[in-house]
């Protein structure tokens, strides 16, 4: 069973009051949806709108169990504690986290509700996989209600250094909540190391390589695995999609609409301050200003899908980005040529694959990112071995995708040079790099990721049975 804040589908209520389901945004759903479709099982989560009491239903092989949130809980638990406290804190305080006691109260209450919903439908001895920062208290609550369960927790976003994490007024409760799991997964070894250090500093527990030893009342220790399991995508699925004639036709159409002869530079992100969109626009604008690029022969397509639109930091970011795009187009565009095509929409996978196929250069300039699956999707899609990935070293994907042009997005000169290098890269070098990126993404796909996490859970379950029998 899988528990995450969002279900794989969001309930969307139209103006006329009719309701529809559509695919939810974010990396978690991109990764977990194919895994759950393949394996089947229950998925407990919030349907994405306030005050909607939806009955459980089946979506193909997945049994959906909606957990309702009131409007106040959406504000305090989701927009507040999850996305205005934990999110900025765990992304190295790029934006200042806000600490409000009433948000913490809501976070505890909602985590309790998710844990109870999962406990009520789990078979005896079942395996439950809890996902992400919105539900860090669920493992401990679940263990206390259902000690028979084997519990995994995966943190999809970074886990910060102790000096940052320790700002959190409820740091001990959070660490203790996560430690209710048997296996705790992180994106990068550095995240797992940061977590273990916080455990040592805050709780004084011993850690041994990938294990945390939690003292028990009888003097024994419960071993908890805490290590990195870098997440991935359904690579073969993306390639299949890219090979579909309709997707290829759409890619051609995009190219001809943007200008056949132009170099297309692409950015695809949730509109989030962690993604480095401002840095990217600054670098691109300076390249136009310096004359190293021109709108006659390049264009930037920026897809920025709407996200967390009622949180003030996100509103401000949107305003800044839209102002900058407007300036760039005003300063450098002409009737014939547009500097930046800015698209504030979410798109279906088919359209994304067509955009990836059409793009000569993919820009991933995150200031901090757990993994960044867009980088992996781009490589999986490019079966023609063309295209160049410019990738931030602050995205987890840079641990694996070494043949990308790795950049520090804060270093605007370095970013500009990398963009020019990408735009002018000879085809033979593109092919060499892309072949290596694609090999990595094909080998370490999402099925392998989930297998290795679930194997670790199984091993931990087996160890427990042996310990109980002794």
The counts of H helices and E strands in the chain are: 17, 18
Does 143 participate in binding ligand F6P (rule CB under 6 A)?
A: no
- Residue where the block lists tokens 């565009």: 333
Is 310 or 410 the residue whose CB approaches ligand F6P more closely? 310
CB 80 within 8 A of CB 106: yes
Residues 62-101 contacting ligand F6P, CB under 6 A: 83
Residues 99-138 contacting ligand F6P, CB under 6 A: 132
Give least dist CB 26 to ligand F6P, A. Answer: 2
Is 25 or 333 the residue whose CB approaches ligand F6P more closely? 25
Give least dist CB 300 to ligand F6P, A. Answer: 24
Q: What is the 3-state secondary structure (H, E, C) of 379-425?
A: HHHCCCCCCEEEEECCEHHHHCCCCCEEECCCCHHHHHHHHHHHHCC
Residues 216-235 contacting ligand F6P, CB under 6 A: none
Question: What span, in angstroms and rounded, lies between the C-alpha atoms of 122 and 1?
Answer: 8
- Residue where the block lists tokens 């000096």: 163
Is 26 or 223 the residue whose CB approaches ligand F6P more closely? 26
Residues 25-64 contacting ligand F6P, CB under 6 A: 25-28
Q: How many residues in the shown chain lie near ligand F6P by CB under 6 A?
A: 12
Is 47 or 193 the residue whose CB approaches ligand F6P more closely? 47
Question: What span, in angstroms and rounded, lies between the C-alpha atoms of 11 and 435?
Answer: 39
Is 155 or 176 the residue whose CB approaches ligand F6P more closely? 155
> Could you tell me which stretch among 20-28, 317-325, 344-352, 449-457 binds ligand F6P (CB under 6 A)?
20-28
Is 156 or 282 the residue whose CB approaches ligand F6P more closely? 156
Residue 395 has phi, psi (to 5 degrees) of: -100, 140
Is 156 or 368 the residue whose CB approaches ligand F6P more closely? 156
Question: What span, in angstroms and rounded, lies between the C-alpha atoms of 190 and 52?
Answer: 39
The correct pick among 91, 156, 382, 416 for binding ligand F6P (CB under 6 A) is: 156
- Residue where the block lists tokens 């196929």: 357
Does 157 participate in binding ligand F6P (rule CB under 6 A)?
A: yes
Does 259 participate in binding ligand F6P (rule CB under 6 A)?
A: no
Give least dist CB 30 to ligand F6P, A. Answer: 8
Question: What span, in angstroms and rounded, lies between the C-alpha atoms of 463 and 468?
Answer: 9
Give least dist CB 416 to ligand F6P, A. Answer: 29
Does 192 participate in binding ligand F6P (rule CB under 6 A)?
A: no
Give least dist CB 155 to ligand F6P, A. Answer: 10
Nearest in space to 460 (alpha carbons), one of 225, 206, 230, 229: 225
The correct pick among 1, 2, 3, 6 for binding ligand F6P (CB under 6 A) is: 6
CB 175 within 8 A of CB 200: no
Is 83 or 430 the residue whose CB approaches ligand F6P more closely? 83
- As a whole number of Å, the CA-based R_g of the chain is 23
> Could you tell me which stretch among 19-27, 64-72, 93-101, 428-436 binds ligand F6P (CB under 6 A)?
19-27
Is 268 or 423 the residue whose CB approaches ligand F6P more closely? 268
Cα distance from N-terminal residue to C-terminal residue, the chain: 29
Does 307 participate in binding ligand F6P (rule CB under 6 A)?
A: yes
**For residue 323, with 0-12 CB atoms within 10 Å meaning exposed, 13-18 middle and 19 or more buried, which class applies?**
exposed
Angle (nearest 5°) at CA 168 between 201 and 73: 135
Binding site for ligand F6P (CB under 6 A): 5-6, 25-28, 83, 132, 156-157, 307-308
């Amino acid at each position: 069973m899988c528990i995450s804040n969002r279900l794989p589908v969001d309930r969307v209520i139209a103006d006329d009051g009719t309701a529809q389901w559509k695919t939810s945004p974010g990396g978690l759903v991109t990764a977990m949806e194919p895994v759950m479709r393949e394996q089947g099982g229950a998925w407990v989560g919030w349907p994405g709108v306030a005050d909607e009491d939806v009955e459980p239903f089946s979506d193909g092989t997945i049994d959906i169990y909606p957990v309702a949130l009131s409007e106040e809980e959406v504000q305090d638990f989701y927009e507040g504690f999850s996305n205005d406290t934990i999110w900025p804190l765990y992304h190295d305080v790029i934006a200042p986290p806000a600490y409000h006691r009433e948000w913490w109260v809501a976070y505890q209450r909602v985590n309790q509700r998710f844990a109870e919903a999962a406990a009520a439908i789990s078979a005896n001895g079942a395996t439950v996989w809890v996902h992400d920062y919105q539900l860090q208290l669920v493992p401990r609550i679940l263990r206390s209600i259902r000690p028979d369960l084997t519990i995994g927790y995966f943190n999809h976003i970074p886990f910060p250094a102790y000096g940052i994490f320790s700002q959190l007024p409820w740091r001990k409760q959070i660490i203790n909540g996560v430690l209710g799991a048997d296996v705790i997964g992180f994106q990068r070894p550095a995240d797992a190391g940061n977590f273990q250090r916080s455990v040592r500093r805050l709780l004084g527990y011993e850690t041994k390589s990938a294990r945390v030893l939690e003292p028990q009342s009888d003097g024994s220790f419960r071993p908890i695995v805490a290590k990195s399991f870098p997440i991935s995508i359904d690579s073969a699925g993306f390639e299949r999609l890219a090979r579909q004639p309709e997707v290829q036709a759409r890619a051609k159409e995009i190219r001809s609409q943007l200008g056949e002869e132009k170099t297309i530079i692409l950015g695809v992100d949730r509109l989030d301050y962690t993604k480095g969109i401002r840095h990217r626009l600054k670098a691109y604008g300076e390249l136009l200003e310096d004359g190293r690029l021109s709108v006659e022969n390049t264009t930037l397509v920026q897809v920025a899908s709407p996200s967390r639109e009622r949180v003030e930091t996100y509103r401000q970011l949107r305003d800044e980005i839209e102002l900058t795009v407007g300036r760039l187009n005003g300063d450098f565009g002409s009737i014939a040529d547009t500097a930046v095509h800015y698209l504030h929409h979410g798109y279906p996978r088919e359209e994304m694959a067509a955009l990836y196929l059409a793009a000569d250069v993919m820009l991933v300039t995150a200031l901090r990112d757990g993994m960044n699956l867009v980088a992996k999707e781009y490589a999986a899609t490019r079966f023609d071995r063309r295209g160049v990935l410019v990738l931030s070293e602050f995205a987890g994907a840079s641990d694996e995708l070494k043949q990308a042009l790795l950049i520090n997005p804060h270093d605007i000169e370095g970013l500009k040079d990398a963009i020019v290098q990408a735009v002018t890269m000879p085809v033979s070098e593109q092919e060499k790099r892309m072949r290596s990126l694609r090999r990595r993404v094909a080998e370490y796909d999402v099925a392998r990721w989930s297998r290795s996490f679930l194997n670790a859970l199984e091993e931990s379950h087996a160890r427990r049975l042996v310990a109980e029998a002794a």
